[in-house]
Structure formats: structure tokens, C-alpha cells
Structure 1
């Protein structure tokens, strides 16, 4: 498994309701997406960073998703370009019951 942390940082605060709206509107395409186990939309306490965290089955699927087109699209949505970090998932706990 591989984790991907996508961070959108800016000097002004993100509006929490706007980030929640983005999460609600963009949730659908990720539901049932092949190779994606988990995705979260997050906002840090200061409001200066919005973060999305993904867990993928493998690195190939993760890297295939984050195309230049996707990066351009999310830059337009959040208003700032993302920093994308690929992380090796060495352990995972799932208490969802699914």
C-alpha cells in the first residue's frame, strides 16, 4: 500500500465551509474508485493548509491518478498548487467494520 498526502498551503486561511463544500462535491468520483482504499479531506487547525490523504493499493495506481491534468484541476479548485508526497504504508488499521 501507498499513502499520498496532498497539501494546499496558503498565507490566508481557507474557509472551512468552502473546503467542506469541495469535499462534498468531489466525494462521488472517489467512491468505488479502483485501487483507492481510502481518501480524506482535511483542514489544519490554523486554516492555512488543506490536506487530502489517500491510501492506494499500490504506487503505480497512485502515480497514475496524479496526472498533470489532475494537478491543474485541483490547483484551480483550491486556488494554490498542491505539494504531493508519496508515503510507504507499513501498517494500517481499519476499524470501519467493512
Structure 2
């Protein structure tokens, strides 16, 4: 069963038309996590579809977006969504390669 969490979404998140794709709470600390957001997934802007990762921290009983960690641009919406679905299972090597703009090892 998935635990419901409360996130205080900042105003700029909605103004930038970001869509929440997933939230990942640390298995070792329930006070931190990652918000996985999609940008331009419907091709409403000139930029390419992008998955953005934001740090979540528990503040006064709610998760707050405290900073952007990384942004991953993709050629298509399907690639961006596929990445967001695989993110939880990425190993450290794949993630480091992606962060350095190298080809990821995962294929499925």
C-alpha cells in the first residue's frame, strides 16, 4: 500500500506548468525525498520534454520543495515518461552517467 504524503507545492511550480510524475521518499529517512516533475510533456513550448528532480524536505509536517537537483531533457514525451518510471530502480552508475550526459546503461 502506498503511503499518502502532503506536499506544499510552490506557486511557481504551477505557473511553470510542471506536472508531478512521482514522489520518492528516502527509505532511510522519512524526512527527505525527491519530487519527479515533467515539463513540456504536451509539447506546448519550444523546449524539449524534460524531467526535473526536486529535493523535498519535511518542514512543519509537510514536504516542501527546497531546490532543484537535476534536469534531464528528452527527445520525446515517451522517453521522458519512461525515464521517470525507471528512476526508482536506477542504480548509482546509471544515474551518475545520466547526470554527466552519458548514455545510460539501462535498456528496458
Q: What is the TM-score when the length of structure 2 is the normalising length?
A: 0.32
- Which one scores higher on RCO, CA 8 angstroms, separation ≥ 6? 1
Decide which structure has greater strand share: 2
Decide which structure has greater helix share: 1
Q: What is the TM-score when the length of structure 1 is the normalising length?
A: 0.34
